[in-house]
Copies of this chain bind each other. A is one copy, B any other.
Amino acid sequence: MTVVLKLGGSVITDKETPETVDDDALTAAVDAIADADPDRLVVVHGGGSFGHVAASERGMGRTTGSRDAADVWAVHDAMRRLNDAVLDRLHDAGVPALPVHPLSVAARTEGNELSLPLDSTARLLGEGFVPVLHGDVVGHAGSGATIVSGDELVTRLAAGLDADRVGLCSTVPGVYDADGGVIHRITDVASVEDALGDADATDVTGGMAAKVRALLALDATAYVFGPASLSAFLAGESAGTVIDG
């Protein structure tokens, strides 16, 4: 049973204050992971007030790059500080976490296609470690370096590692319908298209509709849920909105 878990940047950081970890939320998430002690787990975390702030200050996005190494380093280093905080907590809780930095392994073609060789992640997973990836900067042909989002990594990891379950833990309890209720199950985009606007307009890395489309395309069953349902998800139960194409 291979599980890919995304911890949203909004969950583990205080998005209002630059470079601030939300201690209570991160501790709760880490405790849930340590208690579940899953067999094969890959964790991905977003940028929150670390990466998003650093990237937007420099005008960098998924297709807008920078050729200035100082810009690229600043965004990467901010994400690394958050990654270090996540790793520290996981280690304190006894989770055998090791970092996998997308800048070191991934690259984009001129046509925005992401290559993400999984040799390291798959091997670490096979040896009982918990690889921890994060939104990052990556080399981009013709554009210097651009942003790769945690969500983009999640779908690539799920497909490449043949994951069984994918969990997206964000600050909302699931995907909302037009009336603000949580949709229980999504099996195709068309049936919920009206409700899927940009759930979070300040998130430059893509809205909910794009996320749902990418998750529907996976073989794995995906779950979009809030922090309160993380333990249930890790225990193999249903949580939030089930997305199963």
Docked pose: A144 CA to B123 CA in angstroms: 9
Q: Which of A6-14, A69-77, A210-218 contacts B (4 or more CB under 8 A)?
A: A69-77
**A91-B70 in contact given A123-B108, A127-B139 (Cβ < 8 Å):** yes
Tell me, in angstroms, the Cα distance from A105 to B100 when the chains sit together: 8
Q: Which of B69, B95, B139 contacts A123 (CB 8 A)?
A: B139
Q: How often does this chain occur in the complex, in copies? A: 2
Decide: B96 and A104 in contact? CB cutoff 8 A.
no
Q: Does A138 contact B (CB under 8 A)?
A: yes
| A187 contacts chain B at the CB level, 8 A cutoff | no
Q: Mark A47-68, 1 if CB is under 8 A from B, else 0.
A: 0000000000000000000011
In whole Å, how far is A20's beta carbon from the nearest beta carbon of chain B? 22
Residues of B within 8 A of A141 (CB): 123, 126-127
A69 vs B104: C-alpha distance when bound (angstroms) = 20
Which residue of the partner chain, among B67, B73, B102, B117, contacts A91 with CB atoms under 8 Å?
B73
Knowing A127-B145, A129-B72, A140-B127, say if A119 contacts B99 (CB, 8 Å): no
Interface residues of chain A, those whose CB is within 8 Å of chain B, are 67-70, 72-73, 76, 87, 91, 95-108, 115, 117, 119-120, 122-124, 126-130, 138-145
